[in-house]
Structure 1
């Protein structure tokens, strides 16, 4: 495939000069689509022409062509690339006639502004050699499968984005990652998928060029060639949308199911759900352009996709996660529902504290038992990033043994180093690697938790193993008070006291006695200020003792009007108490007993004056993946380190002696 890609892309050498490198893709990609469609039509051109000639009505033509050829589109032009070249003086007009001859559903070329590209090539005397080059490429289905075309487009787009220094990974996903995701998502449905006449729907809300859908179809066809599979896609990028749509056309899919638009701002499949949902959304990308629509939908409560919570505007990947959940087919009376798979970076596992949008989203998934498994992939798997990436497998009707649990699979030590890197992609998941990961998933609780051979490590957890209480611990406020020049300087920064006439002068004659009790100090200073005709309001009294007070462990505890200790905000602390701590029940109902037991054992012995502010307790959710697979590596012996240092010093001294000589 890479050889075919290199051959197709070599035609770009003809574009040097009149076209800039970032423009090559606007020529190469639409010509590749045109040649692929031409090769698919080639065996049926005579039958297609005869069917088209029977009617002028586009709808009737489409029906006649489908009946005669099995293709869901047609071309009424007499030209092919080869025949258009027979009249080189009119090649541009011939090609435009050829492209315009496609039935209306083939709107992919307008998204490349292909007619303008043809005129540009013609004016630059490049149209003939480029057309000749593509006319020689065999892109028939016998030579290049649908999945192979997906691979070809992947290589072409990578080269295009590499030439233009753009983020290629924003628009497609490496096939090895897709195949692993598809295998995992389909793993629980393998037997059913092999049944005669089975029908399944697959949807990708950030489809790119349609790679995930192509691999999903390939997977299902391998299991059951007679299966009925409906593919659905939404994509925001016009070029990627055009490629995905042309691919669906060639496969005979209903192209009305390929739609262009911003998935977060508008669900173009609103009200529809699917058996399988797959996605590699652009993580780390903000959702400012969709913010108004997203917040409006979130405000609708359970009627909207984003009711569980909203992440920060800076990262929209968790919005796609919520969208996937909303598109899973609900459970039916037989216990069948929907499964999904999504590629995410590490932040959705842990970003946001208790009560935040991300934490609430994780809580929604865990409390409703929607996370089936999470797989950590090797680094350097994707074209535009070398950071850690994860596959989330979602399921709203888990198998009995998996209910109430989440499986974590660490596959970071797997992966095969590529002979030649593609951007940041230096590692790929081989067939063997993929089989090992899928096997670990299938084994679930029986999977090895410590694979010494570098294979995947697997651990199963209860959903609420990832829940915790965020507990606010307060300590008593203890202040000493004294009117000194240093403390009086604090008054100048206090807005409530800045306009009180005579305050500083009156305090100057108060004396410098050290008070360890706030009430005693306020009583004495109040009398003194009154004798100097200085009156303070309640907020000003607070500002006064705040300015003149300093923390002092020997001072008395400050209390409120009801005699209760006041908290010292500077000593306020937050404790994280996991559900089930200390063998307490792993339930929400055990909140009081678990937190109190934790406080009594872990906090009170060290800070006797501390107490829990129960009103601030929040439930949070975090999936600390790396912590569960952490491997302790003991430090090297000191003798070994000393030996290395001595050897280094000796080398340095030797080099210095050479310089001195």
Structure 2
């Protein structure tokens, strides 16, 4: 049937739209029969759009016949509208009906997509204008296919002979159906636009892409109870593979954006692949040094994949006013860009909509897009107010531990005893909260926990005896080293505490004291106090001694740094990370207004208010 129709779809129904209008009394029944005559791919689209429910509603509302009649009178033949023109019509319809708050999750405004496409092809793409050039484009969070459609229109406009092949994956049925319809209208291979979960499968695994365009969902979990069924298992299984799509690591389970980012990179052609991906602010800085997010950023920088990040204005999307960014990924950076990342602040380059649509109050005009693209292509010659260039290493850092020498004084006072209890020195003997929890469970307490409760009862007398002994010896005296305090505490406790418990009690009765003796180990080396441990994030390119001299030692002269990274352990200790504090680089200090000016303004307001009150009182 496909061969007979000449298209990727067909209809074997006895009806045409015109013939349906000849029997108004049976329009609903006949229209359903007409739909059932379509090929399976069209029926899949209509089923995901819940077409039969809509037919029923229109029939009950008395508008089905008029709707079918109106469409039957339109000349939408191939002779009147080729696939490109029909694609433009379809894009316009999608734009009209998906520009609202609820549908916004499936739809990225065409102005935003056009900017992404412009940035994507601004460099390293001269060959796309060659006659009959094969151009592959992929979107693994395709929604209604808007990004693919916009890219297709761009390439066909500038190179009508280009063979543009679109690949998309979309999980949501309604948005997949709309996108699938557009792919068929554009004459694309329907098997390349797949209704699936991108994390569970890669339908085009054997095809490397020239371009990837994507706007993955923000803050959508891939693991945990809120993730889609089976998604966590699929991601972890893929991660365990030797050539995993997520070879750089897994981000926190609450946000899947950086999984989409890595998957996009895995799809790219190794020599000329380029990607443009929209992210919110989280992937720039979320996570500590050893976190998945930090290590993914580090991987991007160490492999020189990140070409540019463009900050867009807020209030661009229909369903959120959140700040968002285009990330430009490249496998073919031009020589001047190698080893560098460009940050572009386009937050103030936009035009206001005359009438907001949902959250969308701003848009990119053609002039705005041209200005941003020029900032991008000008690279190191661009206006530094909007564009800044950094070495990859500028975003990387090392995390050092900083500690002070162990100096502690010891005392037996009400305060030091309370401090000891707060630190949990005696919880092994008696844990009041735990005991209360066990007692509350009563008969349902497990055998294991019953044994723990009985153990607490057995050691409670020792707990009471230790506290009583300490209370008996409360004094104002302070000891400045463990050497002199140890025999004092031994005399107080006698044989009530073994060595381990004795050390806990002694530590609990101590406090940091810079007048105390510096403690040393058996070899005479200074012991450093772990309770004073702090961390310093030092730029990857900066010498730690230089950093300490400038930032730490003026405030803590006896501080010492420690490098704790150890990649040889079974669970490696990672202390090298990366973050991109975008807004910090474009922050502009605004001095507060003079106090005299503010006071005069307040007094003027106060005077005006009093005058109005006086008039009302008359």
TM-score using structure 2 length: 0.86
| Contact in 1 for aligned 2:104/2:319 (Cα 8 Å) | yes
Could you tell me which runs of 5 or more consecutive residues in structure 2 were left unpaired when the two chains were aligned.
Answer: 431-458, 566-573
Q: Which of the residues 139, 145, 150 maps onto 1:204?
A: 139
Q: 2:264 maps to what in 1?
A: 324
Q: 1:349 maps to what in 2?
A: 284
Partner SS state of residue 99, structure 2: helix
Matches of 1:486 and 1:633 in 2, distance apart?
47
* 1:495 and 2:420 are equivalent in the alignment: no
Q: Which of the residues 8, 14, 26 maps onto 1:90?
A: 26
More helix by share: 1
* 1:554 and 2:483 are equivalent in the alignment: no
| Contact in 2 for aligned 1:171/1:240 (Cα 8 Å) | yes
Q: 1:194 maps to what in 2?
A: 129
Q: 1:526 maps to what in 2?
A: 490
Partner SS state of residue 234, structure 2: helix
| Contact in 2 for aligned 1:200/1:275 (Cα 8 Å) | yes
Q: Which of the residues 463, 483, 507 maps onto 2:470?
A: 507
* 1:540 and 2:501 are equivalent in the alignment: yes
Change (3 A) 1:182 1:148: farther
Partner SS state of residue 213, structure 2: strand
| Contact in 1 for aligned 2:400/2:564 (Cα 8 Å) | no
Structural mapping, 1:352-371, within 5 Å: 352-371=287-306
Deviation at 1:80, TM superposition (A): 2.9
| Contact in 2 for aligned 1:309/1:360 (Cα 8 Å) | yes
Matches of 1:486 and 1:638 in 2, distance apart?
46
Matches of 2:198 and 2:162 in 1, distance apart?
28
Q: 2:447 maps to what in 1?
A: none
Q: Deviations over 1:459-485 (max 9, x none)?
A: 221111111112111112322211123
Deviation at 1:309, TM superposition (A): 1.7
Change (3 A) 1:116 1:510: closer
Partner SS state of residue 277, structure 1: strand
* 1:442 and 2:377 are equivalent in the alignment: yes
Q: Deviations over 1:586-642 (max 9, x none)?
A: xxxxxxxx1122113322232122111211571111111111112222222333222
Change (3 A) 1:621 1:132: same
Deviation at 1:125, TM superposition (A): 4.1
* 1:113 and 2:66 are equivalent in the alignment: no
Matches of 1:601 and 1:486 in 2, distance apart?
37
Partner SS state of residue 105, structure 1: helix
Q: Which of the residues 599, 602, 605 maps onto 1:642?
A: 599
Q: Which of the residues 621, 625, 631 maps onto 2:578?
A: 621
* 1:128 and 2:128 are equivalent in the alignment: no
Q: 1:479 maps to what in 2?
A: 408
Matches of 1:197 and 1:434 in 2, distance apart?
28
Matches of 2:370 and 2:470 in 1, distance apart?
80
Partner SS state of residue 94, structure 2: helix
Cα-Cα RMSD: 2.2
Q: 2:360 maps to what in 1?
A: 425
* 1:64 and 2:4 are equivalent in the alignment: yes
Matches of 1:338 and 1:490 in 2, distance apart?
61
* 1:304 and 2:244 are equivalent in the alignment: yes
Q: Which of the residues 384, 392, 397 maps onto 2:332?
A: 397
Q: Deviations over 1:45-82 (max 9, x none)?
A: xxxxxxxxxxxxxxxx312332xxxx332222343333
* 1:578 and 2:539 are equivalent in the alignment: yes
Matches of 2:538 and 2:371 in 1, distance apart?
36
Change (3 A) 1:306 1:431: same
Q: Which of the residues 535, 539, 552 maps onto 1:603?
A: 552
Change (3 A) 1:148 1:183: farther
Structural mapping, 1:159-308, within 5 Å: 159=100, 162=101, 166=102, 168-287=103-222, 288-289=227-228, 290-300=231-241, 302-308=242-248
Tell me how many residue pairs correspond in the alignment: 564
Q: Deviations over 1:69-96 (max 9, x none)?
A: xx33222234333321211122123212
Q: Deviations over 1:178-233 (max 9, x none)?
A: 00001111222442111112111001101111111111111111111001111111
| Contact in 1 for aligned 2:124/2:334 (Cα 8 Å) | no
Partner SS state of residue 352, structure 1: coil
Q: Deviations over 1:298-353 (max 9, x none)?
A: 233x421122122222111111111111111122xxxxx21001011111111112
* 1:463 and 2:392 are equivalent in the alignment: yes
| Contact in 2 for aligned 1:497/1:543 (Cα 8 Å) | no
Q: Deviations over 1:111-161 (max 9, x none)?
A: 1232343345435544323434544567667576413422321321234xx
Q: Choose between structure 1 and 2 for higher RCO, CA contacts under 8 A separated by at least 6 residues.
A: 2
| Contact in 2 for aligned 1:473/1:573 (Cα 8 Å) | yes
| Contact in 1 for aligned 2:306/2:330 (Cα 8 Å) | yes
Partner SS state of residue 496, structure 1: coil
Q: 1:74 maps to what in 2?
A: 10
| Contact in 2 for aligned 1:298/1:306 (Cα 8 Å) | yes
Q: Which of the residues 358, 380, 384 maps onto 2:315?
A: 380
TM-score using structure 1 length: 0.81
Deviation at 1:250, TM superposition (A): 1.3
